[in-house]
Amino acid sequence: MATYNKFQDFVEQLGLGVHNLNTHTLKVYLSNEQPLVTDTVKANIAEITDEHGYPAGGSDITNVWSEASGTGTLTGTDVVFTASGGSFGPFQFAVIYNDDVAGDPLVCWWERATPLTCEDTDTFTTDFGASIFTMGP
Amino acid sequence: MSTTGAKFPTHALGIDEDPWLDEQWNDPSNVYADDGVTASVTGTKFDSGDQTYVLKVDVFNFSSIPDAATILGVICRVNTWYRSGQGSGSMDLMQLLNPSHNRVGTNQCSTPVALTTNNTTIITKGSSTDLWGNALTPAWVKNSAFGVGLGIIATAEDADVDIDYVTLEIYYTGGVNYTLTCESGSYSLTGQSAALRAARKISAVPGSYAYAGQPVDLKVARKLTASPGSYLLTGQDAVLRAIRKIAAAAGSYAYTGQDANLLLGHHYALVCEPGYYGEPYSKIFVTLDGRIYKKMGNTYLRLS
């Protein structure tokens, strides 16, 4: 299972009211550049070329923010990228950012053990499980 | 490009198919593993020009190949030899089987490959890009009937031939489903203790109240206006002390005191405005240039 990694700036922007985790469109995109915890916006981490089924900017994770017993939870729908007519990649990182805020501020990222190139008809799925992250006591 | 790696079969059978119909295989199932235990043809009538039955090996496990993959090539490896002093032989059939268990496509040994007596000899045919003349698909190669048909022709009298094992390896691309299972993150919200202090308003009804307490020293606070810059302020505390006003009620008061000698300068004169002064003029003396004068009316009388 890929470890959840935090961008430091996300916490600041959350406190400043930049992110609305329920109504804003969060997207996941693929990169082969190592993210840094100090990165702040999507432009800091190069996205792979949009080709053969991989769309520019990545894909909407259909995020939902909810609260229960004092704990907030961000959930998302698994995203499947399907190579078609050729390959895309290589990539090693899946990064989430807020597409509805100017500058595309970053949220978090995960890392594959090795870089991967999806060949024609291959699929790559980001499986978010029960939640992307929780916030609370 | 991906590969299944070399896979062993789990089923084998000798079938007579023209022209491979002279000698049946002994123990076909011994080709399932690289263990030195062989399938063989050892009949005394396996003479030059005779051919073994077709040894059809199948039921490989290629389930790891994605259904949407593209098959790129197949490699077959056969560990086979002939027994020293027991004639000789050549492999003259190596052809893939379709889902109907029929031989189809290219016979990789249409030009027979001579066996040796070395039991480590491996005949390898095909490549990562060789489909053996077939339009192979994942469904085809994953079918249990898919496999390879093998045959050996004797090249000397009374040949004995062995096959220890057979493997197939398939190369393919695409159709692989990769999943990045994302671990959930968490953020903790923590805070500091807060000291809460109450301020209470005291309300009082109209009436008389006795207040007791200490005198209050009021100190002046001056407003200091200064231009921008740095200043060092020093000094003592200022203490303001009250000046009391003495008020007297109307009435008569007796004043006592000493006579006053007024010393005047050379050109000065003491001029009194008309009115009552309460003291006899005779008591007023003026000393000027060492001489004493007494005021008489509006003039001064020199006395000495």
List chain B residues with CB under 8 Å of A128: 182, 184
Residue A127 to residue B180, Cβ atoms within 8 A: yes
Tokens of B199: 């301020």
- pLDDT reading at A92 higher than 50: yes
Work out the minimum CA distance from B60 to partner chain A, whole angstroms: 24
Listed in sequence order, the DSSP H helices in chain B are: 138-141
DSSP state of B20: B
Is A26 within the bounds of a domain?
yes
Q: What is the CATH number of the domain that holds B90?
A: 2.60.120
CA dist., res. A5 & res. B291, Å (int): 113
A125 Cβ under 8 Å from any chain B Cβ:
yes
Whole-model pTM: value is 0.59
Q: Residue B197: inside a domain, yes or no?
A: no
Total Cβ atoms within 10 A of residue B65: 22
- To the nearest whole Å, the CA of A73 is away from the closest chain B CA by 9
Report the complex ipTM: 0.93
Residues of chain B with Cβ-Cβ distance to A124 below 8 Å are 178-180
Share of chain B above pLDDT 70, in %: 79
How high does pLDDT run on average in chain B?
85
Q: What's the pLDDT band for B283 if we cut at 50, 70, 90?
A: low
> To 5 degrees, how large is the angle CA A44–CA A50–CA A51?
155
Residues B163 and B286 in one domain: no
Q: Are residues B15 and B157 in the same domain?
A: yes
Residue A32 lies in a domain: yes
Say yes or no: B168 and B277 in one domain.
no
CB atoms within 10 A of CB B118: 10
Cβ-based contacts of A83 with chain B (< 8 Å)? 174
Which residues, 6 or more positions from B160, have their beta carbon under 8 angstroms from its beta carbon?
A: B40, B41, B42, B46, B82, B83, B86, B87
* More confident call, B113 vs B193: B113
* Structural domain includes residue B11: yes
B183's enclosing H/E stretch is none
Query: Which among B187, B188, B185, B186 is positioned nearest to A110, based on CA atoms?
Result: B185
User: How many angstroms separate the CA of residue A76 from the nearest CA in chain B?
Assistant: 11
Measured distance CA(B161)–CA(B40) in Å, rounded: 6
Domain count, chain A: 1
- As a whole-number percent, the residues of chain A with pLDDT over 70 amount to 100
B295 burial (CB, 10 Å; 0-12 / 13-18 / 19+) is middle
DSSP B138: H
- In this complex, which of A124, A130, A133 lies closest to B186 when CB atoms are compared? A133
Taking CB atoms and an 8 Å cutoff, what residues of chain B touch A114?
A: none
Residues 49-108 of A with CB under 8 A from B: 83, 94, 108
> Among residues B211, B171, B167, B152, which one has the least CA distance to residue B76?
B167
- The CA distance from A98 to A9, in Å, is 12
User: Is the CB of A128 inside 8 Å of chain B's CB atoms?
Assistant: yes
- Among the candidates B173, B205, B235, a domain finishes at B173
The 3-state DSSP class for residue B41 equals strand
Same domain, B7 and B126: yes
Q: Both tokens of residue A84?
A: 């078609």
Per-residue pLDDT, B279: 47
Q: Determine the pLDDT at residue B267.
A: 46
Closest CA–CA distance from residue A21 to any residue of chain B (Å) = 14
**B227 in a structural domain:** no
How many separate domains does chain B show? 2
